[in-house]
Amino acid sequence: MNAGKLLFAQLMDFLPWTSFARSVARYGGDCRVRSLTCTEQFRAMAFAQLTYRESLRDIEACLSAQPDKLYAMGFRSPVRRSTLAEANENRDWRIYAELAQRLMLQARKLYANECLGMDLDAAAYALDSTTIDLCLTLFPWAHFRSTKSAVKMHTLLDLRGNIPTFIRVTTGDMHDVNILDEIIPQAGAYYVMDRGYLDYARLYRIHLAGAFFVTRAKRNLDASRIYSEQVNKQAGILADQSIALNGHDSRKDYPSHLRRIRFHDPLTDKDLIWSDPVNLCTSVGLFLQLRLLFPLIENRASRSRGRFERRLISLIFAGRNRIILIRRDLPLTSGASPAEPVA
């Protein structure tokens, strides 16, 4: 009989359990806990994310199917859905948020030298958000609209390796532009975002910090052309201009000149106007990579069962930890499912 280590156990070995234990002690996660410690809770949620379980009942049924393998997976007792629901409800979500920060630090080091696909040595980030629709009856605290609730997940993605570096979960009624107040710009870095983040005062703070931003211009942009650069129309660039804002308030918020580029997108056959771009063709493609991460977490969170904020946010951070973990170059022995032994 094959007595090798389970793939799931191999994957869990790469987690910084010492740092996780410090977070558990800091927030009292295992205080008066008789069964299902924070470590086992995370293992159960990680298993649910990796195997695409749909509910707590599904998690319990799957883990109970082969009870002889639970000990090898790190569980000291069977996982019951009521115990797991209580743990998700009562334990501090900051335990898993700190674990995610630790994993992000490790993963970014692994992808520090990854090529971006363009001639750019500086750091590049994509900023966007997604709205996760929720039931108004079960989540009355998640204010969004009069007929339904929602939370919004704001994500800053490091484009070298597609590693999330910042995630903030807010109620659905928070505007995207407000998240710029919580992000500290990195000098020399490039930030790609859509026009939902177009606020001249906040963008000027990015400019003063020595960073660069790429964003779509709105149709009602009131600006005057200062001069135009020569462009390569065969590459899809129709105009490359330096502009100054005309509005009294906008000119006060952003007194410096902006760079405006009109670009023809062959996929949608539309002309797009971008402000202060780096490499326009590549920036559009890099920004779209951020959209690929959202369904991985959004589908799980939208099916969350429970009324409590901690339960939902813990689920979101568990999904983020799973994404970061599988993005690492792990020397796993392949050829088996997470619950099957390998040589």
Look up residue 34 and give its two tokens.
């008789």
β partners of residue 245: 223
Distance separating alpha carbons of residues 192 and 207, to the nearest angstrom: 13
3-class state of residue 127 by DSSP = strand
What are the DSSP E strand ranges found in 64-179?
124-134, 149-158, 163-171
Residue 204: its pLDDT value, please?
Answer: 93
Cβ neighbour number for residue 157 with a 10 Å cutoff: 25
- Every domain of the chain and the residues it spans: 1-111+327-343, 112-290
- 71 sits in which H/E element: helix 70-73
31's CB contacts (< 8 A; 6+ apart) are: none
Distance separating alpha carbons of residues 260 and 275, to the nearest angstrom: 5
Distance separating alpha carbons of residues 263 and 272, to the nearest angstrom: 5
> What tens-digit pLDDT sequence spans the chain (343 residues)?
556 788 888 888 888 899 999 999 999 999 988 889 999 999 998 898 888 888 889 999 999 998 999 999 989 889 999 999 899 888 888 898 888 888 888 887 877 777 766 667 788 888 888 888 888 888 888 889 888 888 888 888 888 877 888 888 889 999 999 999 999 999 988 898 888 898 999 999 999 999 988 888 888 888 899 988 888 888 777 888 889 999 999 999 999 999 888 877 777 777 666 665 444 444 444 544 444 444 444 444 444 444 445 555 555 555 555 555 545 555 555 444 444 443 3
Residue 294: its pLDDT value, please?
Answer: 45
Distance separating alpha carbons of residues 123 and 204, to the nearest angstrom: 19
Look up residue 122 and give its two tokens.
């500086």
3-class state of residue 242 by DSSP = strand
Residue 336: its pLDDT value, please?
Answer: 46
Please check whether residue 205 is in contact with residue 234, taking contact to mean a CB–CB distance below 8 angstroms. no
pTM of the model: 0.73
Residue 124: its pLDDT value, please?
Answer: 85
What would you report as the CA-atom Rg of the chain, rounded to the nearest whole angstrom?
Answer: 23
